[in-house]
Structure 1
Amino acid sequence: MRIPCPICGDRDRREFYYQGHAVMLDRPAPDTGETVWDDYLHNRENPAGDTRDLWYHDGGCGAWLVVTRNTITHEIKGVELARDAKGGAA
């Protein structure tokens, strides 16, 4: 898979570090029970299809990117700098 970095251009996926979904999570209150905290810490959605993921260009410019891609085909549908991303980039 190749990721088109907005700064460096088209690069191999191995130059990047995958961070996870580019969404803000609702942190539970400190006094919430163990079950809620366990779910918050360990369970994430794993959708098939289009996702917005946060990637760090570790082997290049050091930019944080939001990559919109299809998890089935690995087609990259869009890449933007995280600082410019709209809609819940971490």
Structure 2
Amino acid sequence: MLVIKCPVCGVEGEEGDFHAGGQAHIARPASSNPENISDIEQSDYLFMRHNPKGLHFERWRCDRGCGKWFHAARDTVTLEFKGYYAINELPPVELMEQAKGYWAEHFASAIKSSKRPKS
């Protein structure tokens, strides 16, 4: 049983109270004209997902409470949720620093920019 907490409305419940939306932070193929996107780029965008062992970033929808989408970081080995954050945000820095493999590469520039001294 997964216990999930919505960061928007604070509702906490079992997996059945939420809807899984798959991998988070997926970028659409960049083009102002959809005809310029190759079939390979389009199929990769629609169907290819990472399934790492360890920390993974996912989208979830709060069905029982507010109905809003949010992101969650979950360990795919233990199924433990490590953190939750808004759909329009990057993960907290401590979660990005724990990421390995694909996710470490994906968040590398965000981690560097978060460590710059603020003026």
TM-score range (shorter-chain normalised) is 0.7 to 0.9
Q: 1:49, 1:77 → 2: CA distance?
A: 11
Q: TM-score by structure 1 length?
A: 0.77
Q: Which protein is bigger by CA-based radius of gyration?
A: 2
Q: TM-score by structure 2 length?
A: 0.61
Q: Which structure carries more strand by proportion?
A: 1
Percent of residue pairs identical: 29
Q: Which structure carries more helix by proportion?
A: 2
4+ runs deviating over 6 angstroms = none
Extract unaligned runs of 5+ from structure 2: 92-105, 107-119
- The amino acid that maps onto 1:41 is L
Instruction: Determine which structure has greater relative contact order: mean sequence separation of CA pairs < 8 Å that are 6+ residues apart, divided by chain length.
Output: 1
CA 40–4 in structure 1, closer or farther in 2 if over 3 Å, else same: closer
- The answer (yes or no) to whether the contact 1:8–1:61 under 8 Å persists in 2 is no
Extract unaligned runs of 5+ from structure 1: none
Match of 2:90 among 77, 86, 90: 86
Does 19-28 or 29-38 show the bigger shift?
A: 29-38
